[in-house]
Amino acid sequence: MTLLSLQDLSVVLDTPEGPATVLDRVSFDLAAGESLGIVGESGCGKSMTALAVMGLLPDAARCTGRIDFEGRDLLALDEQALCALRGRCIAMVFQEPMTALNPVKSIGYQVAEGLRWHLGLGRGEAAARAVKLLDRVGLPQPRFSPDLYPHQLSGGQRQRVVIAMALACDPALLIADEPTTALDVTSQAEILALIAEVTAASGMALMLITHDLAVVWQNTAAMLVMYAGAVAERGTTAEVFARMAHPYTRGLLAASPGALGDILPAGRRLATIPGQVPDPQDRPTGCVFAARCARAAADCLPRPPAERVLAPGHAVACLHPHEEETVL
Amino acid sequence: MLSEARAVSLREFWLRGRGQANLMIGLAVTLLLIAVAVLSLVWTPYPINAIDIPAKLQPPSAAHWLGTDQFGRDVLSRIMAGARNSIAVSLVAVGIGAGLGVPLGALAAARRGWVEEVVMRFNDFTFAFPALLSAVMITSLFGPGAINAIIAIGIFNIPVFARLTRGAALSLWQRDFVLAARVAGRGRTRITLDHILPNIASLLIVQMTIQFALAILAEAGLSYLGLGTQPPDPSWGKMLNEAQTLMFLAPQLAIFPGLAIMATVLGLNLLGDGLRDLLDPRLRRLR
């Protein structure tokens, strides 16, 4: 069953310099209990997509298209209905655990807050549940008392608190926006494993936003590659990694420092993608990647390429996708 | 369970605060001021307004610890009663300022848009008149007197708190934990009460103690100009004013009220500093 469905979602920001298109007709479906990775470089619209689903876009943003969650169009809901939904049905984990917690409230209070608000639990009951949640995310008693304050915890421990807050009301969808970017390497693997484990255990759908292909490779069943606010390539993670049809996807992979299974060997020279992301106020009429693409031809310029299905569960928005299987 | 935790943390505050010299000195001075003011309600060495011309302008002695003024009134008694006046003025004036300014500032930060514009332009309008000038204006409109002086000082305090609250709240609204609270489904009012105000509470408390001190100074200034407390009621500023012409004849008349003002302002500032250190969990020393 489809839990979350985006149809032609476009977001235009009104800036003093004119309208800036940050999302351009983004569509995808996410079924209940499934996982989807969204990959792309900074400014490609990954976080904007998450904020749009949350209904927390800046005031200057204009949305068109549809966002259906459990059959309801989120863009048509008023603020009050969204407040009831946020945290209850859709929860979010942030990039920076150092700032995602209120410094003057104890961690127990912050985990219990959602329980009291959404589920109407009393203080005592919410506090008891908060202790259980902290235990669930690997912060056991009595070492991690709910009376601790965020500054008394390490980055990885704080991210666990943020995850506990997100899990509190047992949401149907968890959005993780670069949950490990600010953590050191040893905590990264632990936090990703924790997110994978808790979503699987409670049948939660996961939308994992990252710039790191390796994170997607290891953690999600399906993936979406975004570039300059548009979807470049999509499909099951296995299929996309096997084909790497869009030149941008290949460029992203060649620029990844780490080794990636048998797809990407270690110890190679890192590649860069020449050029820059187009200015969102001045987007090219054709393919947004054409200016940086080695395979671009004259037919890329008049209009954006439509998505083509290459194989079942694999589509690419490119007129000249890579055909060969070898990646590098 | 939570109220238990609160009781524990109050004791903790005391245990931690005991070691802070500035907090303890500030607290002692402030409590002394309150004690003196309360005492003056029931007892002063001499009646406050009892004129005794033969005993005028006496230097400090065993009978009059701080001497007497040009009407032979006991200076110690009048300073004690003046403390009452100062506390009342500063409490009410800061209460008006914070009571209206903090909600206005928080509203401006939470709502943005035209609400913010209206609030901030009102602030600019109030700020455009120097405090003393607007006090002069109000007292000349409604007549001089302690009440009008208090209202004037209170109105001047509103934009101070509104600006401080808005500025601090705006930067907090940009923080991830506020976004996290919004993602968790909290409305703007709940976020303001649960996340914004507790985070700026220490800032506000410090500002309040500073404004207490400034209000005492402002009342002294207004009374000095003859626009505040009216004779024969005692006020520190009024006493300074009357002492001015007698500076060389009886300097103690200026020195003692001056010292009272200075000690009070210093004590309140020390208290504010100490409270800031105590209330900020990031500055708390780990046991």
pLDDT in tens, A112-152: 988 888 888 888 999 999 999 999 898 998 889 999 998 88
Residue B280 confidence (pLDDT): 66
- What confidence score (pLDDT) does residue B145 get? 78
Q: Identify the band that residue A4 occupies on the pLDDT scale cut at 50, 70 and 90.
A: very high
**Residue-number span of the structural domain to which A316 is assigned:** 243-328
**Which among A83, A99, A147 has the least Cβ separation from residue B177?**
A99
- Say if the Cβ atoms of B198 and A147 lie within 8 Å: no
User: pLDDT per residue over B116-170, tens digit each?
Assistant: 999 899 888 888 877 778 778 887 888 877 788 888 888 888 999 999 999 999 9
Can you give chain A as a three-state secondary structure string? CEEEEEEEEEEEEEECCEEEEEEEEEEEEEECCCEEEEECCCCCCHHHHHHHHHCCCCCCEEEEEEEEECCEEHHHCCHHHHHHHECCCEEEECCCCCCCCCCCCCHHHHHHHHHHHHCCCCHHHHHHHHHHHHHHCCCCCCCCCCCCCHHHCCHHHHHHHHHHHHHCCCCCEEEEECCCCCCCHHHHHHHHHHHHHHHHHHCCEEEEEECCHHHHHHHCCEEEEEECCEEEEEEEHHHHHHHCCCHHHHHHHHCCCCCECCCECCCCCCCCCCCCCCCCCCCCCCCCCHHHCCCCCHHHCCCCCCCEEEECCEEECCCCCCCCCCCC
Res A317: pLDDT: 92
Scan residues 38-77 of A and list those with Cβ closer than 8 Å to B: 54, 56, 59
Q: B283: nearest CA in chain A?
A: A151
Tell the CATH topology of B2-279: MetI-like fold (1.10.3720)
Structure-model confidence comparison of residues B65 and A30, the more confident one: A30
Is residue B177 a contact partner of residue B117, using CB atoms and an 8 Å limit?
no
Indicate whether A205 belongs to any domain: no
Residues of A with Cβ-Cβ distance to B190 under 8 angstroms: 117
d(CA B222, CA B2): 46
Q: What integer pLDDT is reported at residue A212 of this predicted model?
A: 86
Across the interface, do A103 and B199 touch by the CB < 8 Å criterion?
yes
- Of the partner residues B177, B185, B282, the one whose CB lies closest to the CB of residue A85: B185
State the pLDDT at residue A208.
94
Instruction: Return d(Cα B115, Cα B104) in angstroms, integer.
Output: 9
| Tokens read off for B262 | 């200075």
In a domain, A295, yes or no: yes
B200: nearest Cα among B110, B112, B260: B110
Domain residue ranges of chain B, discontinuous segments joined by +: 2-279
Provide the terminal-to-terminal Cα distance of chain B, rounded to the nearest Å: 23
Say if the ipTM goes beyond 0.85.
no
Q: For residues A164-174, give the mean pLDDT.
A: 91
- Cβ–Cβ below 8 Å for B177 and A79: no
pTM for the structure as a whole: 0.76
Q: What is the mean pLDDT of chain A?
A: 88
Asked if the Cβ–Cβ distance from B176 to A100 is below 8 Å, we say yes
User: Chain A within 8 Å of B10 (Cβ-Cβ)?
Assistant: no
| Alpha-carbon dihedral angle through residues B154, B265, B281, B187, given to the nearest 10 degrees | 0
How much is the mean pLDDT over chain B?
A: 84
B181, A92: Cβ pair inside 8 Å?
no
Q: With an 8 Å Cβ cutoff, is B175 touching chain A?
A: yes
Contact B1 A124 (CB under 8 A): yes
In a domain, residue A318? The reply is yes
B282 contacts on A by Cβ (under 8 Å): 103, 151
Total beta-carbon pairs less than 8 A apart between chain A and chain B = 84
Distance CA B250, CA B56 (A): 10
Beta-carbon separation of A123 and B198 below 8 A? no
Separation in Å, CA of A244 to nearest CA in chain B: 34
Q: What is the mean pLDDT of residues A297-314?
A: 88
Digit-coded pLDDT (tens) for B245-260 = 888 888 888 889 889 9
User: Choosing among B177, B178, B202, which should be mutated to test the A contact, i.e. which has the most A CBs within 10 A?
Assistant: B177
| A103: nearest CB among B2, B186, B281 | B281
A101: nearest CA partner in chain B: B177
Q: What is the pLDDT of residue A204?
A: 93
pLDDT in tens, A214-258: 888 888 999 999 999 999 999 999 888 888 889 999 888 888 777
Q: How confident is the model at residue B73 (pLDDT cuts 50, 70, 90)?
A: confident
Residues B282, A103: C-beta atoms closer than 8 Å: yes
B contacts of A114 (beta carbons < 8 Å): 184-185
Task: Please tell me the predicted confidence (pLDDT) of residue B29.
Answer: 92
How many separate domains does chain A show? Answer: 1
Which pLDDT score is estimated for A65?
A: 92
In the block, residue with structure tokens 């004259």:
A298
**pLDDT confidence of residue A235:** 92
The pLDDT value given to residue B148: 84
Mean pLDDT of B267-278: 85
Q: Is position A252 within any domain?
A: yes
